[in-house]
Every structure is written in C-alpha cells, then in structure tokens.
A = this chain, B = another copy of it.
Amino acid sequence: MEKFCEAASVLKSIGIRVTQARVLMLEALHSGCGLFTAQALHGKLPGGTADLATVYRFLALLVREKLAREITGTDGVLYYEMACSHNPSHPHFECRKCGRIYCLPAFQPEERMRFPACPHGHGVESVSVVYRGTCSACRATAEKERKE
C-alpha cells in the first residue's frame, strides 16, 4: 500500500486529516493527470467515494496549498491541474469553438525572463498566458465541412 502512504504523507504535510475520500482523490489524480474539472474528477472516483461538494472543497485546499493550480475557462468553468515538479506552470491554448483547453510546453527559463515585468506596485505571484483561437481539431472539422 505504498500509494496510500504516499497520499497520506502529502495530506499530513499540509496539516489536514487523512481521510479515505482525500486519499482516493489524490490517487485518482496521480494516474492520468493533465487539466481536469471537479466534475471530471468526481466522475473518475468509484461511486460513493466522495460527494461533489467534497471534491470541490478538497481541490480548493490543494490550490490554497499550491499543490494544484486553478484555471478559469472563458465560459467560467474551473479547471485544475496538479502542480508538481513534473508539471510546472505553463501556457495554455483555449479553443474558441469547442472550449477545450490544451496544455502547452512550459516556457524555457530564458523565455520566461523575457516577459515584461508588471508595473505598478502590485505584488506579482504568478503569470498566466493563454493563447486563444481555433484548435487544430476544430480547424480540421471546419475544413471537412467546407468540402461537403
């Protein structure tokens, strides 16, 4: 049960109780990462594992502890992604047609350096970059329809 121990130690490290629901959520996130919604995570869990409200509460916790990042889609839906060292902050591409959000490769250190600094006296903690347009899948579909 090394999985359990791993999840448990993560939970302990942020000073919250080790509950079955939390362990299972963390394990579900371990396999198959990427961008996900609270509802998607809830759907992945074995039935009855955790209420949707619990999923939301847990994800909010992870975000507060900086173990996860939160991205708000243009439609207002919240997306999450784990923030481990294997998955550093990176830009996203949001498709205007289908709404899908794609993760793009992280900026290289020297690329990041080239971002203009934020003026004013605001305390910047993070920068998010979102490209928008039509994704390759939707473009292919549009192309096909044009021919018909």
Q: Using CB atoms and an 8 Å cutoff, list the residues of chain A in contact with chain B.
A: 70, 72-78, 91, 93, 95-96, 102, 104-105, 107-108, 111, 114-116, 118-136, 139
Complex: A3 Cα to B126 Cα, angstroms: 42
Residue from the list B73, B95, B126, B133 in contact with A126, Cβ < 8 A:
B133
Q: Which residues of B contact A114 (CB under 8 A)?
A: 114
Q: Which residues of B contact A107 (CB under 8 A)?
A: 116
Complex: A30 Cα to B102 Cα, angstroms: 36
Chain B residue with the shortest CB-CB distance to A106: B116
Asked if B111 contacts A135 (CB within 8 A), the reply is: no
Chain B residue with the shortest CB-CB distance to A111: B116
Smallest Cβ distance from A29 to chain B, in angstroms? 21
CB pairs A–B below 8 angstroms (19 shown): A72-B72, A72-B73, A76-B78, A93-B118, A95-B122, A102-B120, A107-B116, A111-B116, A122-B134, A123-B134, A123-B135, A123-B139, A124-B132, A125-B132, A125-B134, A126-B132, A126-B133, A127-B129, A128-B130
Apart from A104-B120, A123-B133, A124-B133, what 17 extra A-B contacts exist at CB < 8 Å?
Answer: A72-B75, A72-B76, A76-B78, A93-B118, A95-B122, A102-B120, A120-B136, A122-B133, A122-B139, A123-B134, A123-B135, A125-B134, A126-B131, A127-B129, A127-B132, A128-B129, A130-B130
